[in-house]
Structure formats: structure tokens, C-alpha cells
Chains A and B, each alone.
Chain A
Amino acid sequence: MERGRGEVLPERPFVRRYLLQRLFAFLPILIGVSLLVFTAIRLIPGDVITATLGTEAGMLTDAQRESLRSYYGLDRPVVEQYARWAAGAITGDLGVSTRHGKPVTELIGDRFPVTLQLALMAVTLALLVGIPLGILAAVRHNTIFDLFVRMLALAGLVMPGFLVGTLIIYLLSTVFGVLPNAGNFVRFNEDPGLNLRQMIFPAITLGFAFSASVMRMTRSSMLEVLGDDYVRTARGKGLRERRVITQHALRNALIPVVTLVGVEMGYLLGGTFIIETLFSLPGLGRLLVNAISQRDYALVQGATLFIASVFVLINLLVDLVYAAVDPRISYDR
């Protein structure tokens, strides 16, 4: 551990210790999330019985009701219910969904890939569009092109996602005469071509707002970096402008974009509900929202715990990527 800071070798032992610390910091967060969700879902009036039977639940006799409650384990004290569920969760068993009759882990495993694919496609599209446009806008600062990019970015930020999705569906159906996802959803491993055709418009809808923030972030951090001394030095050495921008400026300018991607990825994985509904995709967001309205306690608890874990893991990943791209950052404390 005596290695000096200026040395070229990465500070691996520090990274490992940092990782361990962060993984430990995980636990209180996950406990907090599970407690919060566990309490919140039980505070909502109605339970799985009323949610399933609707008004007919009123026709149940007290004995029938009690037996249903004990069947679902709802007659136990709340603390015991939590303890049982948490004990299972530690071993990777999130319980059985009351509505679907399947293990919660199986349902998540079934739905999460769709949401993940959607989020990955949206982020990829956003980066492919946002970074080049952001760079060009910064390089051609205060030109018509710059103005155009800034307006485009603002449009992406200020339009509700629902509106963008509806506009896309409207254009597709009236101008091109096709309805996205009129048929059944096909998974990527079943038919990659059809799957991509079904996913591309939801991904564009989802990626639109994000590409706007990528554009803005790239442009402003690029502008900042372009004024730095080391960029002037690079230019002074007689390097071609293209090389100055791609080799020198861009690397530093992209650091804030990494954070942005991390944060946004977390939100996208948890918040694609509207897009999933609009384009009828069987993703995690819809599963969870339906589970809340069906008072499917095990599924709500399991799915939110899963989403929170993914969110925290992505944040950890971003911190590590940070250290890789920015040598000034070290985690040795």
C-alpha cells in the first residue's frame, strides 16, 4: 500500500477495499427500500382478496375470508411476515406471486430482459445522436448549427414522454400506415429482426429526452474543456484540430456524460412504465404497476427490491468507470 500516487499502475488494493465498503453500504439501503415498500403496500386499502374478487369480496363469509387470509399468510403479525419474506430474500427466494402463481424471481427473470433491452437501446441511440451533435455544436459555437442543436435539445427536454410516443404512433399509423406492435411481442432470441422492429420506436421515444440531456451535457463540458490550457498547448504544438478534439478534448469532456448515463440508466430501468404501456411491451414496469393495483405483495416487494439493487449497482459501476477514465480520482480513503 506504499505505492505513491503519481505512479502509473492502477491502485488496485484501494479499489478493492473501496468496492467492499460500497457493497457493505448496500445493505442498509436495501433494508430501507424493503421496509419502505413493505409498509407502503400494506397501507394501501384493500388486499389481494378484495383486489382479486372485486365487489364479490363482500359476499365472503367471515370464515371464508379468514381462511383465504391464512392461505396467503396475511393473518400473521406484520413483523413476522416481514421477517419471513426477508429471510427468503437473503437466500434469493422472493416468494410466490399471488396473482401469477409463479415464483417472483421467475417473473422478474421473464420481464426484466425486455426492460433492459429497451433501456440499452434507448441509451445507445441517445449516445449515438447526442455525443456527435454535442461535439459539433461546441466546435461550431454560436453558429446556426449550434442554435439548431440547442433548440432540438430543449425540445427533447420539455416534451412529455407520452406526447413523443403518441406523436410517433400517430405518424407511423397515419403516414406510413403501420401500427407498431399490433401483433404479439416477439423476444430477441426468437426472431431478432422482428424484435428489433418492435423495439426501435419505443427505444426512440425513450431515448429522445435522454439524447437531449446528453447533447446539452456534451456541448457544455466540451466548451469548458476547449478553453483549457492543455487544449491550447495541443493546438500550439500544431496538431490538427480534428486530433485535438477527438484525442485531447473529448476524453475529458465525456466524464460528466458518464455520470449522466449512469443516473439515467437507473431511471430508465425503473421508469419505462409509460413507454411499455404505450407500445404494449411485456416489461418490468408494467408488471410492477399491475402488481400494485392487484395488491400482489410478494411481487411488489420483490420487483422493487430488484430495481433498487440494480440502481445501486449501476451507481457503483459508474464510480468505477469514473476512476478508469479520470486518473485524478482515486478511492484510497
Chain B
Amino acid sequence: MAATTSNVLQLQDPNRRSRTLWQRAISRLRRDRLTLLAMGVLLALMLLSYGSPLVNRYVLGVDPLLPDTPNRLLPFGAPGHLLGTDDLGRDHLARLLSGGQVSLSISIFSALAILGIGLVVGLVMGFSPGVVDDIFNWLITTLDSLPSLYLLIAVSALLQPSPQALILIIAVTSWTGAARLVRGETIARRELDYVLAARTLGASRWRIMFVHILPNLLSILAISLTVGIGGVILAESALSFLNLGVQPPTPTWGNMLIDSRIYYRTAPHLILMPGLLISITVLCLFVLGDGLRDAFDPRTED
């Protein structure tokens, strides 16, 4: 643009395309160093966790499930065991990595399932005022009035404990918040001009719901997903405390944290490391959630 052009003219430049919400959000995220750092840490944790079968075999050369009792409860820096060993002599680092794979998978899939249920229920509620909305409202209030912990206990007693069962249990007991969120956002958009326009053009209710409203909810859902994954990671350790989580010998960060509690005086590092990994992961997810919120908020200035 010519140097002589004034600011006013720049604003009115007809050749300049206005950026979409997503384009602007991405360009904001690129400049948000803290969020980028959080994303980097999460990516590294995921790579190490999901690569744990390879890392454990070829780099560490240990089996995270194989007990080696003569070498139990070794401290940090023991030969061959960088982060020591647990109460059965298994390599702590290897178990942390492969536990991360299980914990992250449970959290990601649970959060996706929660969001899926919440999305469908919330959209339907937002678009069906009257009896349908009332019934779901009643169901949601009922579920919310019960502490989720006891629901979790009841449902998990029905299923054989496994990572898949855990995902199902967490999803069916925790979808109410997401449904409330989507319902509220749907109602707020239901009467907007673009929905009215779509309706005038003869779009069906389902088309309006999924083609017109849903894309506008994606940013809110993305934020809710990151925070939700963090919530499930914390919930998983609470379930392990109740002995309802993933059963040994399969490691998760939650059961590693809880199961080493009796060694809190002799081997505190066994509690510290899974606790630290849970905290760091949840922290990064929260930072990412905040970053996404700022990036998508139209009120934030560039």
C-alpha cells in the first residue's frame, strides 16, 4: 500500500478481505507465547506417552509391567532406572510414560464423549422448548443434585473395570455441564437474524441446528474440551482412590499416584512424579483453554 494512503482509506480498502473468526483466532494464538508453550508441553507429553511402547523397549530397555522385586523402591538416578523403581521393582519412568498413554486416552475420549452427548442434548433442548426441554432439565437437575462421585461408584460397580468402561462411566455421569452450556448458547443464537434468515429460506430445524448453529459453537466447544480433559484427568485419580479406576498392573497416572501413598515416607518420589505430571498436564490444558478463550473472544483487541 502506498505510503501516502491515510489510515481512513486503509480501513475502507475494498481489496482487503475481512478475516474470519478462525483466521483471527489462529493469528492471535501464534503470538500468544504462554499458550504456545502449553501446547508444546502437551504435544511433547503426548508424543512420549503414545510412543511409550517404542521408547520403553528401544531407549529404556525395560518392561513397565515386569516385576523385579530385588530392585524395589530404588531412588532417583539408580543405575538403569533414571527415576527409580516402584514397590515391585518396575521402572518408574517407563511406567510414567505408559501410564500417560492410558491416562491421556481415557481423558481425551471421555471428554469427547461428554461433549458429544452434551452437544446433542443441548442442541435438542435449545430447539425444543416445552416438554422435551422440561424433561431434560429435570434429568439434568436430578443428576446434578447427586454428587457425581456416588453416581460413579454405582455405575462402575456394574461394569468390569477397564479403560473403556471408565470412559463410558465418566461420560454417562458427567455430560450435564456440557449440555447446559450448549443449551444456553443455542438459545442465545436461536433468535438471531441469521437463523431467522435460514428459517425464512425454508431450512429444516435439523439443518439449522447442525449447519447454521453448530459451527458457531465450535470455539466454545474447543475451550470446553480442553478444560474437560483436565477435569477427567483429575477425576481419574479420584476414582483410583476409590479403587474403581483402571486396575493393576496397567499403570495410569491416577493409580500410580494413589497406589504409592503408603510409601509416602520411604519413597516420596513415587507420589511426586505422577502428581507432578497430572498437575503439569492439567495446568497446560487450562492455560490452553484460557488462550483459546482470549483468541476467540471478539472483544479482545489485536
Is A28 interfacial (CB 8 A cutoff)? yes
Instruction: List, in ascending order, chain A residues with CB within 8 A of B127's CB.
Output: none
**Is the CB–CB distance between B150 and A304 below 8 Å?**
yes
Is B249 interfacial (CB 8 A cutoff)? no
A162 to B237, CA, bound (A): 8
**Is the CB–CB distance between B139 and A44 below 8 Å?**
no
A154 to B290, CA, bound (A): 11
A288 to B147, CA, bound (A): 11
A-side interface mostly: helix
The contact string, 1 if C-beta is below 8 Å from chain A, for chain B 248-275, is 0000001001100100110010010001
**Is the CB–CB distance between A166 and B261 below 8 Å?**
yes
Is A244 interfacial (CB 8 A cutoff)? no
Is B158 interfacial (CB 8 A cutoff)? yes
**Is the CB–CB distance between B147 and A289 below 8 Å?**
no
**Is the CB–CB distance between B237 and A32 below 8 Å?**
no
Query: A108 to chain B: closest CB distance in Å?
Result: 14
Interface residues on B, range: 35 or more
Query: B202 to chain A: closest CB distance in Å?
Result: 34
**Is the CB–CB distance between A43 and B158 below 8 Å?**
yes
The closest CB in chain A to the CB of B154 belongs to A40
Is A308 interfacial (CB 8 A cutoff)? yes
Which of B80-88, B209-217, B279-287 touches A? B279-287
Is B194 interfacial (CB 8 A cutoff)? no
A304 to B146, CA, bound (A): 7
A129 to B242, CA, bound (A): 30
B-side interface mostly: helix
The contact string, 1 if C-beta is below 8 Å from chain B, for chain A 287-317, is 0110010000000000010011001100000
The closest CB in chain B to the CB of A41 belongs to B154
Instruction: List, in ascending order, chain B residues with CB within 8 A of A274's CB.
Output: 238, 241
Query: B209 to chain A: closest CB distance in Å?
Result: 27
**Is the CB–CB distance between B286 and A29 below 8 Å?**
no
Instruction: List, in ascending order, chain A residues with CB within 8 A of B146's CB.
Output: 33, 36-37, 270, 304, 307-308, 311
**Is the CB–CB distance between A267 and B147 below 8 Å?**
yes
A273 to B280, CA, bound (A): 25
**Is the CB–CB distance between A33 and B145 below 8 Å?**
yes
- For residues 221 through 247 of chain B, which have their beta carbon under 8 Å from a beta carbon of chain A? 230, 234, 237-238, 241-242
**Is the CB–CB distance between B145 and A163 below 8 Å?**
no
**Is the CB–CB distance between A45 and B157 below 8 Å?**
yes
**Is the CB–CB distance between B283 and A154 below 8 Å?**
yes
Is B220 interfacial (CB 8 A cutoff)? no
B153 touches which of A28, A155, A292, A311 (Cβ 8 Å)? A292
**Is the CB–CB distance between B264 and A170 below 8 Å?**
yes
Known A-B contacts A154-B283, A159-B279, A292-B150; A32 and B139 likewise in contact (beta carbons under 8 Å): yes
Known A-B contacts A32-B142, A44-B154, A44-B158; A158 and B283 likewise in contact (beta carbons under 8 Å): yes
Is B69 interfacial (CB 8 A cutoff)? no
Is B26 interfacial (CB 8 A cutoff)? no
Instruction: List, in ascending order, chain B residues with CB within 8 A of A158's CB.
Output: 230, 234, 278-280, 282-283, 286
The contact string, 1 if C-beta is below 8 Å from chain B, for chain A 150-177, is 0000110111111100100110011000
Known A-B contacts A161-B238, A162-B238; A40 and B286 likewise in contact (beta carbons under 8 Å): no
Instruction: Among A154, A160, A271, A273, find the residue whose CB has the most chain B CB atoms closer than 10 A.
Output: A160
Query: A158 to chain B: closest CB distance in Å?
Result: 4
**Is the CB–CB distance between B279 and A44 below 8 Å?**
no
Instruction: List, in ascending order, chain A residues with CB within 8 A of B22's CB.
Output: none
A28 to B268, CA, bound (A): 49
**Is the CB–CB distance between B264 and A289 below 8 Å?**
no
Instruction: List, in ascending order, chain A residues with CB within 8 A of B154's CB.
Output: 37, 40-41, 43-44, 292
Instruction: Among A28, A162, A174, A292, find the residue whose CB has the most chain B CB atoms closer than 10 A.
Output: A162
Number of interface residues of A (CB under 8 A): 39
Instruction: List, in ascending order, chain B residues with CB within 8 A of A166's CB.
Output: 261, 264, 271, 275
Instruction: List, in ascending order, chain B residues with CB within 8 A of A161's CB.
Output: 238
The closest CB in chain B to the CB of A157 belongs to B286
Instruction: Among B157, B238, B254, B261, find the residue whose CB has the most chain A CB atoms closer than 10 A.
Output: B157
Known A-B contacts A36-B142, A267-B147, A307-B146; A289 and B242 likewise in contact (beta carbons under 8 Å): yes
B145 touches which of A271, A277, A312 (Cβ 8 Å)? A312
Instruction: List, in ascending order, chain B residues with CB within 8 A of A163's CB.
Output: 237, 257, 271, 275, 278-279
Is B65 interfacial (CB 8 A cutoff)? no
**Is the CB–CB distance between B150 and A270 below 8 Å?**
yes
The contact string, 1 if C-beta is below 8 Å from chain B, for chain A 17-36, is 00000000000110011001
Instruction: List, in ascending order, chain B residues with CB within 8 A of A40's CB.
Output: 151, 154-155
B149 touches which of A162, A174, A271, A311 (Cβ 8 Å)? A271
The closest CB in chain B to the CB of A46 belongs to B157
The closest CB in chain A to the CB of B236 belongs to A160
The closest CB in chain A to the CB of B144 belongs to A311
The closest CB in chain B to the CB of A32 belongs to B142
A155 to B144, CA, bound (A): 26
Instruction: List, in ascending order, chain A residues with CB within 8 A of B258's CB.
Output: 162
A267 to B148, CA, bound (A): 9
Instruction: List, in ascending order, chain B residues with CB within 8 A of A267's CB.
Output: 147
Is B206 interfacial (CB 8 A cutoff)? no
A160 touches which of B153, B238, B287 (Cβ 8 Å)? B238
A308 to B146, CA, bound (A): 5
Is B162 interfacial (CB 8 A cutoff)? no
Query: A279 to chain B: closest CB distance in Å?
Result: 13
Known contacts A43-B158, A159-B278, A270-B147; 8 additional CB pairs below 8 A are A36-B143, A40-B155, A44-B157, A154-B287, A159-B279, A160-B254, A160-B278, A273-B149
What 3 A-B pairs have minimum CB-CB distances, sorted nearest first? A270-B147, A32-B142, A40-B154
